[in-house]
Amino acid sequence: MKAVAIAYKPVGLLVGVAGGMLAGAVFSQIWKLATHDDDAPDMLDADRGWGEVLAAAALHGAVFAVVRGTLNRAGAAGVRRLTGTWPKG
pTM over 0.85: no
Among 55, 53, 65, smallest CA distance to 20 is for 65
Cα–Cα distance measured from residue 25 to residue 78, given in angstroms and rounded to the nearest whole number:
24
Please give the angle made by the CA atoms of 28, 19 and 50, to the nearest 5 degrees.
Answer: 40
**Apex CA 51: angle with CA 54 and CA 70, to 5°?**
35
Position 8 pLDDT exceeds 80? no
Confidence of residue 9 (pLDDT cuts 50, 70, 90): confident
Which are the contacts of 30, defined by CB distance < 8 A and separation ≥ 6? Answer: 59, 63
What was the pLDDT predicted at 88? 75
Ordered by start, the domain boundaries in the chain are 33-76
